[in-house]
Amino acid sequence: MLNYIIKRFIYMIPTLLLISLVVFIVIQLPPGDWLTAYVASLRESGDEIDPITVELLRERYGFNQPFFTKYLNWISGVLQGDFGYSFGWRKPVGELIWDRLGLTLVVSVSTLLFTWIVSFAIGLYSATHQYSFGDYLATFLGFIGLATPNFMLALILMYLAYKYFGLSVSGLFSIQYAMAPWSWAKFVDLLKHLWIPIIVIGTAGTASLIRVLRANLLDELGKPYVVTARAKGLSYLRLLFKYPVRIALIPFVSTVGWTFAGLISGSVITGIVLNLPTTGPMLLQALKTQDMYLAGSFLLFLSIITVIGTLVSDLLLAIIDPRIRYE
Amino acid sequence: MKKSILLLVFLILFVGNSGVEGAEWQGTDIYSETAIQYSTAEQFEAKTGKTIDQYNEAPEFAEMVKQGELPPIEQRLPDNPVVIEPAENIGLYGGTLKRVWKGPSDRWGVRKLFGERFVTGAPDRRVHPNVAESWEIVDQGKTYIFHLRKGLKWSDGHPVTADDAMFWWEVRNDKELDGIFGPPKSDFYINDQLCEWKKIDDYTFSVSFVAPHATFLEFIASEGKARMIMPKHYMEKFYPRYTPLKEVNKIVQKEGHDDWKKLMEAKWSWPDMNPNRPTITAWIPANEPSESFFIMKRNPYYWKIDSAGNQLPYIEKIAHEQVTDKEIMTMRVISGEVDFQNRHMSFDNYPLYMENREKGNYRVMNIPDIKLGESKTVIFINLNIQDQVKAEIFNNDQFRKALSLGINREVIIGMFFFGQAIPFQAAFPAETPFYDQEWAQAYIDYDPERANQMLDQIGLKWGDNKYRQYPDGSTLTVSIELTDGKDVNIYELVKDNWKDIGVNLQINTPERSLREERTEHGNFELAAWSFDTSDRPDLLGKHWSVSKNESGVHWGPLYNKWYRTGGKDGVEPPAEIARLNQIYMQLKSTPDFDQRKELMQEVIDFHKEHIFMIGMAGIPSDSTNSPGSIVIVDERLRNVKPWPIVGVLSRGAGISMIQQFYFEP
C-alpha cells in the first residue's frame, strides 16, 4: 500500500506541472494584462493615470516579457515556496491566500459535514420508507435544492432576513468581533454567521447525495442476500448497517476528491453574494483583473487539492470496499 | 445655486487669501453650506470676530497625556493650527463611522475622503492653504515660495519641515526610482524645462520655473497629483543615498523584498502595503487593510481644530468594511449599516435608497454631477478608424451632426434620468466659467427630417433593407462599445432613433480590458463614455485635446498615440487638431484669465463646429435635484451638508470635511 501511495505521488508531479502550464496559458488568454484592467477600472471611477506611468509600470512588473519567461519565473518561484506578487493587492501572494484558505476550510469542512449528515439521514429514511409521505417530501425538497442555484438561495435567505429581521446577514463576523482575538464570544458570533453559507452551499450537494444514497440503497435492499439474512432472523437495523449501507456509502467516499475542490471553488458566487472573506471572491477578482500570479497560484492550489482529494478517496474506497485491489 | 446668501459668498471668496497672488481669477461664484476652513486662527478671528482661547482634545488622548504616553495638546498642534468652522454645530467626540470599500485596491476612496493636499481646493473653486500655511508668487509668476506650517507633525510626532519637501522632490527625480516615484509629472515642466527646488529655511522652500506657470497651484491642489512632502526621517532609513546600502539590504532581506527599490515602494504605499507609514491625515490605520474590517483611528497629531479650539476629528474610528460586490453594498446601505458613503453609490438605485431610508435610518443627498451619475451618455466617434470607407464618412462633419440630430433626447431623459436632466451637447457644463450656450445646444433638437436631408446630401443612399449604404454599397452599420453592458437600454433607444435616419447601430459590450485594448489601438467605431471634463476644463486637456498627458481620447485615439509616442506610432493629426494641443500648452503659461478664456473660446468654437462627441443629457444649472452623485448619510451624523457640483478642485466627498462630522448621541 505504501508503494502504491508513493507511486501516486510521483504521478502527481507531471500532472500538476501540466496543470500549472495550462492554467497560466488560460489566464493570459484574454487581451491586455493586469495593467489594462487596472487602467480601465481607474477610468471607470473617474480617476486618471499618466500614460507614462503606465509604461513604466508595465516595464517594472515585467508584463512585456515573453510568455515562457514569465511562466518560468513564476513556476521556479512556486517550487521555492514563493508564489509571486499580487498586483491588485500589492502583496506577495503567499501572504494573501493563507488567511483566506483557513476560513475557506472552516466553511468547506462544516458544509461537507452538514451535507453528509443531512443526506445520510434523509437518504436512509427515504430508501427504507420508499413512497411514503416523508420520502416524497424529501424528494421534493431535494429536487428543489438541486435545481436552485446556490446564489439564488443565498439571495432569498438574505432578502427574508432583511425583510423580517432588518439584518443584512453576510460576512463571517460582526464588526465588533472581526478585529478581536479569538474568544468564545467570537466563536459564537462566527456560528451565527456560518449557518447561512452552510445551508446555501450545502443544499445542492445534499440533494444529489440523497438521491444517490437512496437509489443505491434501494438496489441493495432488493438483493437476495438481504432477503436471506432477514429470513434467517437478523435484526433489520443490524443488517441494514452491516451490508447495504456500507455499499451505498461508496459514492459518498468517491466524491471526496472533487467535493473538496468544488467546495472551495464552487462557492465563488455564493461567497461574493454573502461577502465571505473566503478564497472564492478573491479568485474571481483576480481572474477579472488578470492578476495573473494570484489567480495562477489559486488555481494551482485547487488542482493540488483535487489531485490529493482523489488519492484520499481512492484510499478510503479501498478500505470500505474490499473488492478493490492496489494494482 | 442659492445665490441669495450673498454675504456668505463674499465671506467664502475671501477666506484664506493670504499671499494669493496672480491666482485670483477662478470660477463662478458658488455658494456652499459646507464647513469653512481658515488657514490660521488669526484669520478666523479677523473674519468672524470670535476668539479661540484654549485647545481641547479627545478623551482618549487626554487620558494618554495623563499617563505620559503623549505630549500635551499644545505641543502636538502646530503653532498655527488650521481652524474649521463646522457646518452646523461644535461637535462631540466619539463614535465609529462605518463605510464600505472594495479592499486595498480601493485605496483612492480613502484618500478622496480625507487625504490632505498640500494646498487645497474648496467649494468656491479657489486654491486655499492647507499643509502650506501660505505662499508667495514672485518673479512674474516664475517662482512659488511655500511657507510650511511651523510645528506641524507627522502622525509619529516628528515635525514636518522643508527637508521633507526637498526629500519628496529628490526621490521623484531619482532615475533609479522611475516607475515607483518618478519621473515628475508634466506640470513640473515649463517649455520642457524641469523646475528647480530650493530650501530657504526649515519651513520655507521655493519652486522656480523658467517661464511663468499659471496653473501650478491648481495642479498641486488637484487630487493625488503631487503631495509635495515625504517623511524624510522615516523613508531615509530605506534609501541608500542616506543609509548605507548594507543596512538597507538587511531590512530588504528581513522583510523579503527583491531590492531596496521595492522596499521603498512598499514602505511608501499607504495604507495598503504599509499602514504604519507616518502621515498627516486625520485618521491612521489601526489594523491591516486586507482584513474584512479595516479600522482607522484618530491621529493624535492632527493639525486642525474647530472654532472652539477642539482638536479634530470628532469621530474616533472609521471602519471600512470590505465588500466586493456592488449589490451587497446596496444591501448594506438599505439595512442601515453604512454611515457615510459616496463612492460606489449609484444614481440608478436612487429610488431604492429613498424607499428604505426610514427603515435604514439614513438620508440621501444627491450632489449634481456633470457625469450624470455613472451613465456614459456621450458618443465619441473614432476619426481614426482603419476602414477607409468608414473613415471618410466618420470624418465628415455633416454625418456626425446628422447622428446628433437623430437622437430623441427628451425620451431618454424621461426614461433614464427620471426627467431631471436637460438635453445637452457634449459641451462644457453650465457650472464652469467656460460654458458656451451655443455649443451646449448645438444639434440637440430631435429633427430626423433634417438629419435625413444631411445624410442624403453627403450621398449616403438608401439600400433595399431599410438602411442607408456606405459608398461601397455595404449597409451603413456603426457599432458602439459600451463598458460592462451598463447603459445598453439607453443605446437601445438610440438604435431605434437612428433606424429612422437609415443608420444601423450595433451595440457591443466588450469586457473592460478588451475595451481598453481596443481604445489604445483605435480599434473601434463609436465609444460611449462621459464628457467628464469637470468644473475646470482649462486645467486638463481631457476630451477636448489629444495631448500626450491624456489617454483614452476616444475621438482621436491614434492622434493621441502619436503625441504619446513622440511621433513614432499613431497618426499625425491635421493642423487644426494640433492647434488644440498648442492651446493646451499655452494655457499652462497664461495667468491672465481673460486670455485663458479667449484660448478656451477657440477650443469651444472648434468643437462646436465639428461635433466629434455627441452628448445626450446634462444637468440644469439651477437645479439641486439633477442626476448625480449619491451620498448616504446616517440620520445621527451631523455637520454634513451637500456640497456643490463634483469637480477637479472641489474634491468630491472630501470637501464636506469629514473631520468635522460627529454623531448625535
- CATH number assigned to the domain with residue range A100-320, chosen from the 4 options 1.10.8.60, 1.10.287.1040, 1.10.3720.10, 3.90.1300.10: 1.10.3720.10
Residue B585 touches partner A, C-beta closer than 8 Å: no
Per-residue pLDDT of B460-515, as tens digits, reads 999 988 899 999 999 999 999 987 777 899 999 999 999 999 999 999 988 777 88
Question: Before B231, cis peptide (omega within 30)?
Answer: no
Comparing A248 with B454, which gets the higher pLDDT? B454
- Please tell me the number of Cα atoms within 13 Å of B413 on its side-chain side: 21
Residues composing chain B: 665
Question: Before B271, cis peptide (omega within 30)?
Answer: yes
Residue B520 touches partner A, C-beta closer than 8 Å: yes
Sheet strands (E) in chain A: 85-86, 91-92
Nearest residue, CB atoms, A37 vs list B295, B331, B512: B512
- Return the number of other C-beta atoms located less than 10 Å from residue B13's C-beta: 16
Distances (CA, A) of B379 to B411, B554, B615: 17, 9, 6
Residue B523 touches partner A, C-beta closer than 8 Å: no
Quick one: cell of B445? 433638437
pLDDT at B28 over 50: no
- CA distance linking residue B546 with residue B56, whole number of Å: 52
pLDDT at B4 over 60: no
> Exposed e or buried b for every residue in B370-397, given b needs 16+ CB within 10 A?
bbbbbbbbbbbbbbbbeeeebeebbbbe
Domains of chain B, earliest start first: 32-114+281-369+627-665 (3.40.190.10), 236-268 (no CATH), 378-618 (3.10.105.10)
pLDDT at B535 over 60: yes
Residue B295 touches partner A, C-beta closer than 8 Å: yes
Q: Which helix (H) or strand (E) holds B132?
A: strand B132-138
Comparing B157 with B327, which gets the higher pLDDT? B157
pLDDT at B170 over 90: yes
Per-residue pLDDT of B287-331, as tens digits, reads 888 888 999 999 999 999 999 999 999 999 999 998 888 888 888
Sign of the CA dihedral running A157, A163, A165, A171: positive
For residue A57, which residues of chain B lie inside 8 Å, CB to CB? 179
Eight-class DSSP state of B117 = P
Question: Using the beta-carbon criterion (under 8 Å), do A91 and B273 form an inter-chain contact?
Answer: yes
Nearest residue, CB atoms, A40 vs list B103, B287, B512: B512
Sign of the CA dihedral running B19, B21, B26, B29: positive
pLDDT at B107 over 50: yes
Question: Which residue reads 435635484 in cell numbers?
Answer: B625
Per-residue pLDDT of B539-549, as tens digits, reads 888 889 998 87
Confidence at B56, pLDDT banded by 50, 70, 90: very high
Give the CA-trace dihedral at B161, B221, B30, B598, to 10 degrees.
130
Contact B299/B292 with Cβ under 8 angstroms?
Answer: no
For residue B342, which residues of chain A lie inside 8 Å, CB to CB? none
Give the CA-trace dihedral at B406, B409, B412, B414, to 10 degrees.
-150
Contact B403/B438 with Cβ under 8 angstroms?
Answer: no
Contact A275/B323 with Cβ under 8 angstroms?
Answer: yes
What confidence score (pLDDT) does residue B290 get?
A: 83
Per-residue pLDDT of B352-388, as tens digits, reads 999 999 988 999 988 877 777 667 889 999 999 999 9
Q: Phi first, then psi: what are they for A35, rounded to 5°?
A: -65, -40
Contact B233/B158 with Cβ under 8 angstroms?
Answer: yes
Q: Phi first, then psi: what are they for B509, rounded to 5°?
A: -125, 75
Quick one: cell of B57? 482634545
Nearest residue, CB atoms, A168 vs list B185, B256, B337: B337
- Return the number of other C-beta atoms located less than 10 Å from residue B124's C-beta: 25
Smallest CA–CA distance, residue B513 to chain A, in Å, is: 5
For residue B332, which residues of chain A lie inside 8 Å, CB to CB? 168
- Return the number of other C-beta atoms located less than 10 Å from residue A235's C-beta: 10
- CA distance linking residue B537 with residue A231, whole number of Å: 94
Q: How would DSSP label each residue in A73-94?
A: HHHHHHHTT---EETTTTEEHH
For residue B511, which residues of chain A lie inside 8 Å, CB to CB? 30
Confidence at B12, pLDDT banded by 50, 70, 90: very low
Question: Using the beta-carbon criterion (under 8 Å), do B516 and A40 form an inter-chain contact?
Answer: yes
Q: Phi first, then psi: what are they for B101, rounded to 5°?
A: -145, 170
- Return the number of other C-beta atoms located less than 10 Å from residue B494's C-beta: 26
What confidence score (pLDDT) does residue B30 get?
A: 45
pLDDT at B2 over 80: no
Smallest CA–CA distance, residue A209 to chain B, in Å, is: 31
Contact B591/B214 with Cβ under 8 angstroms?
Answer: yes
Sheet strands (E) in A162-280: none
What confidence score (pLDDT) does residue B622 get?
A: 64
Distances (CA, A) of B59 to A228, B74, B316, B431, B652: 82, 15, 10, 43, 31
- Return the number of other C-beta atoms located less than 10 Å from residue B358's C-beta: 11
Angle between helices A256-265 and A93-128 (to 10 degrees): 120
Question: Using the beta-carbon criterion (under 8 Å), do B328 and A275 form an inter-chain contact?
Answer: yes
Contact B190/B213 with Cβ under 8 angstroms?
Answer: yes
Confidence at B13, pLDDT banded by 50, 70, 90: very low
Comparing B451 with B548, which gets the higher pLDDT? B451
Strand-strand pairing, B422-423 and B613-614: unpaired
Q: Please, which residues 357-376 of chain B have a Cβ atom closer than 8 Å to chain A?
A: 359, 371
For residue A54, which residues of chain B lie inside 8 Å, CB to CB? 551
Contact A290/A30 with Cβ under 8 angstroms?
Answer: yes
Angle between helices A292-320 and A67-79 (to 10 degrees): 50
Question: Using the beta-carbon criterion (under 8 Å), do A173 and B108 form an inter-chain contact?
Answer: no
- CA distance linking residue B38 with residue B419, whole number of Å: 40
- Residue B198, classed as helix, strand or coil, is strand
Question: Using the beta-carbon criterion (under 8 Å), do A171 and B337 form an inter-chain contact?
Answer: no
Q: How would DSSP label each residue in B565-629?
A: TTTSSS-PPPHHHHHHHHHHHHHHT---HHHHHHHHHHHHHHHHHH-SEE--EE--TT-SSSSEE
Smallest CA–CA distance, residue B287 to chain A, in Å, is: 8
A26 closest CA partner among A283, A262, A292, A277: A292
Q: What is the pTM of this model?
A: 0.82
**Residue ranges per domain, chain A?**
34-82, 100-320
Sheet strands (E) in B270-391: 283-285, 293-298, 304-306, 317-322, 340-341, 362-368, 378-381
Q: How would DSSP label each residue in B520-571?
A: HHT--SEEEE-----S-TTT--TTT---TT----SS-HHHHHHHHTTTSSS-
Residue B337 touches partner A, C-beta closer than 8 Å: yes
Per-residue pLDDT of B609-657, as tens digits, reads 999 999 998 877 666 667 778 899 999 999 998 877 666 666 678 888 9
Q: How far is CA A1 from the centre of its chain?
A: 28
For residue B256, which residues of chain A lie inside 8 Å, CB to CB? 92
Contact B327/B622 with Cβ under 8 angstroms?
Answer: no
Question: Using the beta-carbon criterion (under 8 Å), do A99 and B290 form an inter-chain contact?
Answer: yes
Helices (H) and strands (E) in chain B, counts: 23, 27
Nearest CA in chain A to B108: A47
B556 closest CA partner among B570, B566, B568: B570
pLDDT along chain A (327 residues), means of 10: 85 89 85 80 69 79 84 87 83 81 80 86 89 89 82 82 71 73 81 82 80 87 88 87 82 70 68 80 84 88 83 81 71
Quick one: cell of B649? 478642485
Nearest residue, CB atoms, A30 vs list B322, B323, B513: B513
CA angle, B302 then B308 then B314, to 5°:
45
What confidence score (pLDDT) does residue B537 get?
A: 86
